[in-house]
Every structure is written in structure tokens, then in C-alpha cells.
A and B are shown apart, each in its own frame.
Chain A
């Protein structure tokens, strides 16, 4: 059984770490904080068809996660690679007036939270990182996506360029190697 300690990590990092570990297979024992991490990890694992047994431990809770992920719906296409990756390279959706483009992008990300089929990873590059930084109006939606197991990650170079490196408010910082590997091995890529 694999062990994971995510105590002290803010949401959605515990869910992201647990998702990665479960994707690699096998039962998992994870130590986590009470509160949002405990609730979010349990919901995430149970939604995926795993069983969760919990016991109090020092500084939080210990989850034993067993079983296997529920089979995908029969209508779902079988991806040949690893999951669905969404690459968001702008803070606007579509061509046209800037104000409308920003509104549509906001609406798109918030609507995604309500959909049943989510991407596995969302990578934000170029002005897309303005959506994950302080001041963005979709932080609440991106946090909700993270809590449902979506890995939300922003390009470090881009955050640096826009002087937002210390202003990241949703998800994690990633690098081009990870983005490139993820894109070429993905089952499907959605580019926005």
C-alpha cells in the first residue's frame, strides 16, 4: 500500500496528489487535514468509485482508499492516451470585442463546473494565467474544479512575465516540460 502525507497542504493540492497516486493504481493510505481536504478527498474518491475508510491520526485523519475507479460510461470514447487536457492560451473566448471575449471565457469556466464530464488537466498559458491569478473572477470556479479532481496548472514563465508569480490564486505552477509531455501523451486535447 502506498502512503501519502498531504497534511498542511491547501486545497486543491490534496485532491490533485491523491488523484495522481490513484491513477498509478493500488490501494492508498493518505494523511490529511480535517475540514476541506478531508471532505474534498472523500468526495473525489467516492465519486470515482473507490471506498474510503477513515481514522483520526495526529494532526488530522488517515484515509485508506481501496477498490478501483468506476468504469467509464459505455458511451464515453476510449482515449488512446492519458486523459483529456485543456490548454487555455488566452483570457478571452473567441475573436471579437474584448469585453465580450472576457465575459465568454468567465462564463465558460464557470459552466464547466456544472458539467459531468471534466477534463483531467487544465493548463493555462500566456494571458490564460490571468485567469488563475489574484483579481480573476473565476478563482471560485477553478477551485471547485480542483476539488473535483481537475489538475489546474499555470505556466511559470507566463506568471513571471505578467508579474503574477506571487499572485497565483488557483492551482499550481507548472513548467513547459510538463505541459509538452502532457499534451503529446493526452487522449484528447481541447485548445481554447
Chain B
């Protein structure tokens, strides 16, 4: 479900991940809500997957809406590198 180089954003709650999904889909951005990979601990067990090609648009839309993820990971090989964490 997650390819090398894809991003997985984890949110604080199921409501926030659903809101983020709705917002990004309304903007026709190619994102997919997925079960959080085993290697990533997530309270709600869900994440949003997107590719490098839409990263800027996705993150700017989330930022404008006050829906920045709790954590952001990038898949590299078999690992998920945490590249951003909410302060």
C-alpha cells in the first residue's frame, strides 16, 4: 500500500484524519486513507498516504486549514523515517 518514497501523515484523532481526507479530496489531490503501517504507532490506526509530486500542495492545504499532522513519515526501503513532528 505504501511505496518507497511515499509519505504517511498521522493525525491526532480519527476526526482530524477524516476531516483532512475530505479537504484533500475536495481539492482533487491523489491521497489515500490507509491503515497506519505496523511500524508506525498511531492512536487512531489511520494515516494519509501521498506521493512526493503532491507533497507541497497537500501540506499547504492542511496547514491553511489548521489540520497539520501529528507526525509525518517517509518510506525508505523497509523503514519509515519520521521527518516531521508536531511541536
Question: Can you list, as one digit per residue, whether each of B1-37 has a CB less than 8 Å from chain A (1) or not (0)?
Answer: 1000000000000100010000000000000111100
A140/B1 in contact, CB under 8 A: yes
> B residues within 8 Å of A by Cβ?
1, 14, 18, 32-35, 38, 45-46
Q: Decide: B33 and A114 in contact? CB cutoff 8 A.
A: no
Residues of A in contact, count (CB < 8 Å): 12
A interface SS class: helix
Q: For the complex formed, measure the closest distance between the CB of A71 and the CB atoms of chain B, giving whole angstroms.
A: 27
Complex interface: stretch among A1-9, A105-113, A121-129: A105-113
Residues of A138-184 whose CB lies within 8 A of B: 140-141, 144
**Nearest-neighbor residue (CB-CB) of B21 within chain A:** A103
What's the nearest-Cβ distance from chain A to residue B24, in Å?
A: 13
9 intermolecular pairs with C-beta atoms under 8 Å apart: A103-B14, A107-B33, A107-B35, A110-B1, A114-B35, A114-B38, A137-B32, A140-B32, A144-B1
Closest chain-A Cβ to B44's Cβ sits at a distance in Å of 10
The residue that B33 contacts in the complex, of A111, A113, A137, A140, with Cβ under 8 A, is A137
Alpha-carbon separation in the docked complex, A156 to B30 (Å): 30
Q: Residue A99 at the B interface, CB < 8 A?
A: yes
Residues of chain A at the chain B interface (Cβ within 8 Å): 99, 103, 106-107, 110-111, 113-114, 137, 140-141, 144
**What CA separation (Å) do A107 and B36 show in the bound complex?**
9
Chain B residues with CB under 8 Å of A107's CB are: 33, 35, 45-46
Query: Given the complex, which residues of B lie within 8 Å of A106, measured CB to CB?
Result: 33
Chain B residue contacts of A99, Cβ below 8 A: 18
- Looking across the interface, which residue of chain A has its beta carbon closest to that of B37? A114
- Which of B1, B18, B46: most chain A CB closer than 10 A? B1
Across the two chains, which residue of chain A brings its CB closest to B22?
A99
